[in-house]
Amino acid sequence: MSRQQRDALDAILRSVPRGGTRPTPEEQRSGFAAAITRPAPEGTATRRTVLGGRPALELEPAGVSGPGRLLYLHGGGYVIGSPDTHAGLVGELARRAGLRAVSVDYRLAPEHPFPAAVDDGLAAYRELLATGTDPQDLVMAGDSAGGGLSIATLLAAREAGLPQPAAVVVFSPWADLTLAGGTIRSKEDADPVFTEADIRAYADLYVGAGDRAHPLASPVFADLTGLPPLLVQVGANELLLDDAVRLAGRAGADDVEVTLEVGPGLPHVFQLHYGRLDEADAALDRAARFLTGHLRAGHPDAGRQASSY
């Protein structure tokens, strides 16, 4: 059924109207929320909280125990999206990994341009450590802009002298705001979600006249030395394919343990379509195994108290 599922999904994504007057950020946010929001999985408890000075959503799958935590940063071009729009995706990843998760409502552009999102990601990460989460018990994940932001957050944490988490997973990361990747142009006919103009508009709102090659805006240009094991998942039918490939290559060149998975015929953040697309469910299962496989379960000092940072 997989090919039929992919064809049906592609047709749905391509049916979204394009062209005409570009909507305002507020209109984009409401439209995005209506299009992709799915509730947290059945049996997953949710709770509003604050982390790093920002609103956040905690998700706790049924039967979860132990200290493992997942910090998630949602996608949306740094302009749209929220923990609510991604509650289903985050909840599914948390459920499959058997982890408690927290999804941060970081500040969005254009009201809060670069580096506001990075500052919020770092503040959330810092508070988790400061309140007793051992980095060996902590993993991160993010999609699209949230994927790039996850890497930028870890770079900022490294520069602040904070320890790295156990692992990080990124889905279709937007990692180059200069739009230098060849697939930004070569995959435009294949991508059912974005055009180059769409992505450029998000970059304009987030960075404006700033340096789009700054390592915290475009991690493909960063020195990634010291980052934790990294899993990158991306679809072959998306403009950001080269962002993912180059990010993985940069990580490998900097001696980071990295796994790159390219899904043939799949669109941007195809993991959002769990339960409807076999590849999405399989990818989330692999991501969950990757994250839990790097947690400190069975570590000889697993019972020691977490340090404060």
Report, as residue numbers or ranges, the catalytic residues.
Answer: 144, 238, 268
Distance CA 165, CA 154 (A): 8
Distance CA 210, CA 214 (A): 9
Distance CA 218, CA 192 (A): 24
- Strand spans (E) along the chain: 45-51, 54-60, 69-73, 100-104, 138-143, 167-171, 230-235, 258-263
**Contact 244/173 with Cβ under 8 angstroms?**
yes
**Contact 93/74 with Cβ under 8 angstroms?**
no
**Contact 251/228 with Cβ under 8 angstroms?**
no
Instruction: Provide the 3-class DSSP secondary structure of residue 162.
Output: coil
Instruction: Provide the 3-class DSSP secondary structure of residue 103.
Output: strand
Return all residues near 296 (Cβ < 8 A) that are at least 6 apart: 134, 136, 137, 166, 302
